[in-house]
DNA sequence: TGAATCGAAGGTCAAAGATAGTCAAAGTAA
DNA sequence: TTACTTTGACTATCTTTGACCTTCGATTCA
């Protein structure tokens, strides 16, 4: 049932559970999972983007490699950063998902709160498509701001 | 005697008698019952809707699947009542506030969750006024549904 | 030594493949 | 008729692959 990309993701997450960053070789990994090397890039860009809280660096040529590092921030920093412009004027659904999943991963929100954020940030068919990304950005930003307000200061 | 849809329904109900949720593949199931794939959607929407006490999630593409989860709330529960149709087509801001404060009073949601609900249910200036109450109803209902879905069954 | 070359990585992008969703028309039963 | 069921064409989304491109280090050649 589960696609190869999901397995690769789990593998990397597993590695990252033991260290804040991992270094690996694209071809080697692709071979281990029996897929095209470019699929590794697909997994990295769809599941380990900066929005997800990761930074990817790489080097080509002989001895080349890819490094995946987790961005470590305190909960307050992350929320503050998002609310003060980290979201922008428009926000695609996939970026919104990444942001929420990162908030969850950093434990800035609970499972239920993440579900509420995602739910409200989802596409709404009764809104013209051209407006959606704009509305989504506004909604998410407002929600995060209100969330901070509702949280007794630390 | 609508044989096929009823059989599919029974089959799913059977699966759900052993677990609170099942994951299946649309094409596979359709093939097993010798029907068009879209008939699976028909069965889901006519017999496993939120009004019936179920929540459906799905994913497309390689490794795609459909998950059917039972809502685990008792009859008479405010949340369930709201989700299964108690909100209606349109919802004024003041009624939305009343609903959220009742949910808070019953401890169905936390302070932070209430803040998120209110935030998303608020008036949005970039939406035409005529649409707002309709959008609000949809949004709140979807959020409550997703909230239930995110809550591990008791 | 410096430039050209070569091989070994990794990067990009668009096409093909794999699922699921929607909707309206056609079929069927009450 | 009226409501429910079934189907299929078309759409949307996510994944996988492959051809072609870029970069880097090492080697070879003037």
Q: Could you tell me which chain B residue has the CA closest to the CA of A3?
A: B63
pLDDT of residue B76: 60
| pLDDT at residue B83 in the model | 79
Query: Is the pTM above the cut of 0.85?
Result: yes
CA B59 – CA A11 distance, rounded (Å): 21
The reply to whether residue B126 touches residue A134, judged by beta carbons under 8 angstroms, is: yes
According to the model, what pLDDT value does residue B15 have? Answer: 97
Q: How many CB atoms lie within 10 A of CB B92?
A: 12
> Which residue, counting CA atoms, is nearest to the C1' of nucleotide C20?
B60
**Residue B36 or A1, more confident:** B36
Q: Which pLDDT score, from 0 to 100, does residue B74 have? A: 64
Task: List residues of B whose CB lies inside 8 A of any A CB.
Answer: 23, 25, 61-63, 65, 110-120, 122, 124, 126-127, 131, 134-135, 138-139, 142-143, 145-147, 149-151
Sign, Cα dihedral of A8, A10, A15, A19: positive
CA gap A109, A113 in Å, rounded: 6
- Give B127-148 pLDDT, tens digit per residue: 888 888 988 998 998 899 889 8
Does position A84 have pLDDT exceeding 90, yes or no? no
pLDDT band for A1, please (50, 70, 90 cuts).
low
More confident call, B88 vs A41 = A41
Mean of pLDDT values over B37-52? 95
Mean pLDDT of chain A: 92
Q: What is the pLDDT of residue B33?
A: 98
pLDDT tens, position by position, B63-121: 999 999 998 766 567 888 887 777 888 899 999 999 999 999 999 999 999 999 999 99
- Three-state SS string over B60-77 comes to CCCCCEEEEEECCCCCCC
d(CA A77, CA A62): 38
């Amino acid at each position: 049932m589960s696609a190869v990309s999901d397995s690769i993701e789990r593998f990397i997450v597993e590695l990252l559970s033991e260290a804040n960053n991992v270094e690996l070789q694209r071809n080697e990994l692709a071979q281990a999972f029996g897929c095209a090397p470019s699929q590794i890039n697909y997994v990295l860009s769809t599941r380990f983007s900066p929005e997800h809280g990761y930074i990817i660096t790489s080097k080509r040529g002989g001895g080349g490699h890819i490094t995946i590092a987790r961005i470590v921030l305190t909960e307050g920093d992350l929320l503050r950063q998002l609310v003060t412009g980290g979201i922008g004027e428009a926000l695609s659904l996939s970026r919104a998902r990444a942001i929420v999943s990162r908030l969850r991963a950093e434990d800035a929100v609970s499972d239920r709160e993440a579900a509420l954020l995602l739910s409200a940030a989802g596409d709404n068919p009764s809104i013209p498509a051209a407006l959606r990304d704009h509305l989504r950005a506004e909604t998410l930003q407002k929600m995060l701001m209100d969330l901070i307000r509702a949280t007794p200061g630390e």
